[in-house]
Structure 1
């Protein structure tokens, strides 16, 4: 698979993953379909939109790829009106959220580096890309955002993935392996932190 096709495929998976995590949280808050759609879009597109604004990267991603808001709208209808989907426990939000975090962190870092942003700033933009949608989702849903909670690792997982991507670019001539490597580090760190109760601060 060529790099542009790989990036598009990962963007597709990441958007769906974050949208589903947003829908699960909105359902947990007993929102109507309009609320579910809004929270799903904010979660899926929030980080990328902020990144594009900071980098002056136009047009903003979801504007030039209208298929993604349309897909989220169709998913919203399913979540809102199919009882079995509405019964999905909110705890399952951890997996899609981790997948979205990994994908968008690395793709945000890759775009920033491609646009000539210095390494550490590019990694921070990757972290912003991966975390801001979830942060906005949690604030709107009156939750303390994952990124600010002591209970498990979150932003540090994203930063580790971003740095892994950057380091792997020295060993590979294309970004395909570094993207998959950085994404895997982020997702695995996030899931392991939840499973083993890993924290930056214990008390």
Structure 2
């Protein structure tokens, strides 16, 4: 089970880091900026979660290979010319993958530390969304979690509860993890593709 979780963590970190680096390149940042935005996108949510749960040392200090991986990715994104062809709109897929992975893993860590399902779901949402919120704020954009034209945090919240339900019904954490994170990632992508929103502007009279 540890190997599966570690693999998912790496996938989530790579996905979120890439989403941050795409935005950083679109904003014409230098290599330091590309690394910084990639790092805070990938590690921001997990760091907030660990601080709230008093879980020390925080994840990226325990796993120094992850910041090194982000550093290598930032070098590629800074000096590989083809990256310039990637539009900022393309962050949807890696961002959705990161949202799914970190929402579920954040919720599970909270459960492992003895917290209730509701608190675990909230911490899952924080883990999955905070890094992206920092990315957007530092890139002078309205965070996706606060945009009226986005359905984002609610997908994470529902996905966490689906994960809890699957654990109870299937008695398999690995399968439940997969179902929960795939649900969040796929629904997020579909919501963007088909412009699904929680609220729409009232039609003018």
Shorter-chain TM band: over 0.9
Deviations, residues 96-152 of structure 1 (Å, cap 9, x unaligned) = 000000000000001101111111111000000000000011111110000001112
Residue 160 (structure 1) shift: 1.1
Q: Distance in 2 between matches of 1:189 and 1:107?
A: 18
Match of 1:56?
A: 54
Gaps of 5+ in 2: none
Match of 1:151?
A: 149
What TM-score do the two structures reach when normalised by structure 1? 0.97
- Give the 4+ runs in structure 1 shifted more than 4 A: none
**Of 82-91 and 64-73, the range deviating more from structure 2:** 82-91
Gaps of 5+ in 1: none
Residue 173 (structure 1) shift: 2.6
Q: Distance in 1 between matches of 2:2 and 2:170?
A: 16
Q: Report matched runs for 1:79-158 at 5 Å.
A: 79-158=77-156
Q: Distance in 2 between matches of 1:149 and 1:92?
A: 18
**Of 33-42 and 86-95, the range deviating more from structure 2:** 86-95
Residue 186 (structure 1) shift: 0.5
Match of 1:192?
A: 190
Aligned match of 2:163 in 165, 169, 178? 165
Residue 174 (structure 1) shift: 3.2
Match of 1:71?
A: 69
Q: Look up the SS of the partner of 1:170 in the other structure.
A: helix
- Given that residues 48 and 108 in structure 1 are in contact (C-alpha distance below 8 angstroms), is that contact kept between their aligned partners in structure 2? yes
Q: Distance in 1 between matches of 2:87 and 2:68?
A: 25
RMSD of aligned alpha carbons: 0.8
